[in-house]
Chain A
């Protein structure tokens, strides 16, 4: 069963190819920030960048989980709905049933992880399309969330409010929220998990080619299920952060967030066919999306829908770039 050398070689190749894709989003982010700083006064203030993390903490957490799913060649459309369900469940348990916030958060995390694992089992065991399974998961999560409460539930639990108001001071007068810290921790864990563990190597190998991964003796079935469970956990964690950020639980929270998350992962240089990419790239992707919104807000003349058009154009450019990369790399099996 021990096959370290071919696995390491495979993962090494996958990571080397991913590195080029990692530099592109990083350079784009820096270039956009510099250009924005030249065009708009005050865009380069440290707090603006801290706010990028604070306002996109939930997106970042979700995108980290989604990166693993996409690296393994799958997709998870249920992330936005699971966030909504998590916020509603937390708010309902804390406000209406008097649960301790930590107990509610624990239950939410367990539920999210199990929902993800269940979808993983369906996808792996019955060879169902991830797209459709997670689509049904999305319907289910949103439906259950609306069944729990149609209206938004405000959270005024003292502990939650206190945690939401914590600001961790940074040098240069900036500060971060707890949610942003959790998001940064998620990125750090994601980088370690993807780059330095057996699990991460198996994910890259499965995304590259499931048949050869299985022939290599990698635990394909359990890895796929774990990947979806991880994404479910990340979504639930993002839901906890979202509830802190908004101090409310609402079934219509995070509508369409799955699109933003997929866009962030793709712009971060992860191939949607699987097998190539990096969690650090996803961080850049999320920051780029956040920066687009910030620039549009700074400008004041551009309307909010330009965000969508800009993200669509970026997606197009990155997908075209990826096609070029894939075509140049020999031996890559296309499609799935």
Chain B
């Protein structure tokens, strides 16, 4: 290599880093955590107590778990140019179904066997997946706009959930179910394992087979993908089913965490947080380019922000404003028109200087 000044060498290296899709979300997360660590040294500390790992970092991961799950499903739907705004309602519905099933089964069976647990989980996940199937059928078979198709379930879903629960908050008295949301396994909170399992399974499915390629192709150009022989309809349908399923898993975790299911308030505004997490993670909202790891990081960023606002002692109401500003920033950075105008402005000022 020819001798070159360090700045010239450093620039392409930096640029290559910055062009990595995960660079910006990771940088945001690291800066957030470091900022916290500097101003509040206890923030990053981890303790080992009673065989459990405690600390803000574990807590953030634990609390972010439901959002991560929903964001993973949302990522795939957005990747195929869709949108699912019913996830919050599906989450509430799944939580209610699980709690209702448990209460029904336990009424006749006071034992401590595990089969009510399995029944509750399976019932919740099946209902959630059916919700996803319903959304997918409306989009693929009827040809509705995704927002409209999922709006129907968003409006009606909580109504159905309240119908099941008779408008009550169902409380769950069943230790194994509570373990799902509050238990520890090998020192770490159980929800983290659920997230890891879903994430790894999805990652392998998409990257070890051609499915990931197909999803990207449909998002980039649905017509071209169809012409190339991709079964677009079936794949789009599958993404909606998975999105419903992941909202269902999140619903089980949320209801297990608080030992109750609130049909009216569980998962409120979840659809918005999930869309925000997905776009923070670098997935294009117009479909095509998507990143599962990015969405995971995006969801963790959101939770870190919430924890930061609590840790610093700012009013929690600030959370919404901060989120709004973040969405505006991320959108502008993703917009080709905006980047073009900034670039034009930069080169103009550069020439004048």
Residue numbers of A with Cβ under 8 A of B are 75, 122, 125-129, 131-133, 135-140, 142-144, 146-147, 150, 251, 259, 262-263, 266, 272-273, 303-309, 311-313, 315-316, 319-320, 323, 334-336
Contacts and interface: CB of A to CB of B under 8 A. Distances in A.
B335 interface: yes
A105 to B, nearest CB: 24
Interface string B177-198: 0000000000000000000000
A262 B321 contact: no
A259 B151 contact: yes
Chain B CB within 10 A, most for which of A138, A305, A307, A311: A305
A143 B318 contact: yes
Given A262-B151, A305-B163, A272 B145 contact: yes
Closest 4 CB pairs of A and B: A312-B156, A308-B159, A143-B320, A143-B321
Contact of B337 (A125, A146, A311, A315): A125
Contacts of B144: 319, 323
A137 B324 contact: yes
Interface string B140-171: 00111101110111111111101100110000
A215 B148 CA distance: 29
A126 B332 contact: yes
B12 interface: no
Given A139-B324, A312-B159, A323-B144, A146 B317 contact: yes
12 contacts: A75-B147, A126-B335, A127-B336, A128-B331, A140-B321, A140-B325, A251-B317, A308-B162, A309-B159, A312-B157, A316-B152, A323-B143
Nearest to A146: B317
Contact of B152 (A122, A127, A312): A312
Contact of B143 (A136, A259, A312, A334): A334
Nearest to B154: A259
Given A135-B272, A143-B324, A335-B145, A311 B155 contact: yes
Given A126-B335, A139-B272, A306 B318 contact: no
Interface residues of B, number: 46
B270 to A, nearest CB: 13
Contacts of A75: 147
A137 B321 CA distance: 9
Contacts of B317: 143, 146-147, 150, 251
Contacts of B286: 129
Interface string B318-353: 111111110110011001111000000000000000
B159 A129 contact: no
Contact of A132 (B163, B166, B327): B327
Contacts of A125: 337
Nearest to A306: B159
Contacts of A315: 151-152, 155-156
A147 B279 CA distance: 26
B83 interface: yes
A319 B148 contact: yes
Given A146-B317, A308-B158, A315-B152, A136 B331 contact: yes
B324 A136 contact: yes
A127 B156 CA distance: 32
B313 interface: no
Contact of A305 (B149, B159, B279): B159
A335 B82 CA distance: 11
Interface in B86-126: none
A235 to B, nearest CB: 16
Given A125-B337, A132-B327, A143 B158 contact: no
A130 B338 CA distance: 15
B320 A140 contact: yes
Nearest to B147: A131
Nearest to A137: B324
B155 A308 contact: yes
Nearest to A133: B331
A83 to B, nearest CB: 16
A146 B322 CA distance: 13
A115 to B, nearest CB: 11
B285 A129 contact: yes
Nearest to B285: A129
